[in-house]
Structure 1
Amino acid sequence: MLPLAVATSRRIVDHPGLHGVYPEFLVMWHGMIRASVPLMETALTAARALPDDPVAAPLADYLEHHIPEERGHDDWLLADLEAIGVPPDRVLARVPSPPVAALVGSQYYWVHHVHPVGLLGYIALLEGYPPARQDIDRMQAVSGYGPEAFRTLLLHAELDPHHGRELDDLLDALPLSGQQRTLIGLSGMASVQLLSLAQQELLDRF
């Protein structure tokens, strides 16, 4: 399923009407990123409620470290959008699409009803494939927007490789059961599918 997400992302990067597509792309991502810290906080609370679980303790340690690193990224996106003429109140008034809601909402289900470690599949998608600097440069050139519209993408291009390595180290160290490995895999595959649907919805409007 990952090639599908890569293909839809590529179509956004290469879209000839990027001047109109890019603000919608940022709004779509804001719908997901605004939920990242609350979702991780929910998983942290659930992990702390499992004191005898050998996976929950290192997961909680990871989330306690990672949550402050992710806090405020939704505000970065709002600032980028405001720089290209889209005010924050207009972004916040938008109802995120069903694929975005399902992408985030499925994680709450797995956290509450299976195990909070499932969230790592979702995090792996969001942080395991950082934007390439050459793609960001191309988007800026094609869209006509200034560098102030790409600050969040540039920061993630810098930060996400490190975050991805931290996540890989955690996954290697966790004493995962077969069920937990399956859960992380399903979380990651569902996240890819739903992100692809969200991106395709955006492309269909253009």
Structure 2
Amino acid sequence: MAPPSAGPTSSTTAESRRLRGILELALPVLLVQGRRLMGHPALRELYPRYLVLAHTKIRASVPLMETALAACRRLPDDPVAVLLADYLEHHVPEERGHDEWLLADLAAVGVAAEEVRAVVPSPSVAALVGAQYYWVQHVHPVGLLGYIGLLEGYPPAPEEIERMRTATGYGAEAFRTLLLHAELDPHHGAELDELLDALPLTDAQRNLVGLSAITSVQLAAAALQELLDRA
């Protein structure tokens, strides 16, 4: 996950606008940590560790969405689950391989893939992803959209990526994942908005999506803070 930018990726209505509002109220705690990262005097040394942190999150994304898709398929009479399944069937293939992008970026800064794969995720990362598994399996898979809203809704700005390149001195090959997300996430965010605005959410489902979004922001911020506090 890239350091988030401060603005959403698309115009929104109804449910998508509600989720965006929740995320933007929660986002400052994550933006603070993103600014700490961007302004850190040892950013060159921190950047590989930041990519490793991102990998511990992103390598869980496709398995998590596949779990949500399986949960949707167990609810064939649930109109929300049916629409969510259609979205996930399209979205999962688009997300495959993003962890490999990060491994390529890490190789460009001298970190071997086997070293990255051996990293045990921090408790904050485990809680970030684990909360989604719990809600998907034991409440309703639509809760995952709060998490996806954070991941897809706030891509890094190209000028921020360029500042990181300048500050670290690393070549463009070390920023492939950030650059690709800056390009792809606005489209993905628009697709998510379209889905949200089509879902006949109950009040309980709407509250779950909001809870998922707030929790995702808080735990993503905690994970980044842990990295920076150890620097």
- TM-score normalised by L of structure 1: 0.99
Q: Which amino acid aligns with 2:44?
A: H
1:89-148 CA-partner distances (Å, limit 9, x unpaired): 111111110000100000000000000000000000011100010110000000111110
Structure 1 counterpart of 2:158:
133
- Where 2:79 maps in the other structure, the secondary structure is coil
Matching residue within 41, 47, 52 for 1:27: 52
- Where 2:41 maps in the other structure, the secondary structure is coil
Matching residue within 95, 119, 126 for 1:70: 95
Structure 2 counterpart of 1:98:
123
Counterparts in 2 of 1:36-185, with a 5 A limit? 36-185=61-210
For 1:13 and 1:52, locate their aligned partners in 2 and report how far apart those are by CA, in whole Å.
47
1:171-193 CA-partner distances (Å, limit 9, x unpaired): 11100000000000000000000
List gaps (5 residues or longer) in structure 2. Answer: 1-25
Identical amino acids, percent of aligned pairs = 69
Structure 1 counterpart of 2:4:
none
Q: Which amino acid aligns with 1:154?
A: L
- TM-score normalised by L of structure 2: 0.88
Structure 2 counterpart of 1:17:
42
For 1:127 and 1:73, locate their aligned partners in 2 and report how far apart those are by CA, in whole Å.
13
Q: Which amino acid aligns with 1:67?
A: V
Q: Which amino acid aligns with 2:164?
A: M
List gaps (5 residues or longer) in structure 1. Answer: none
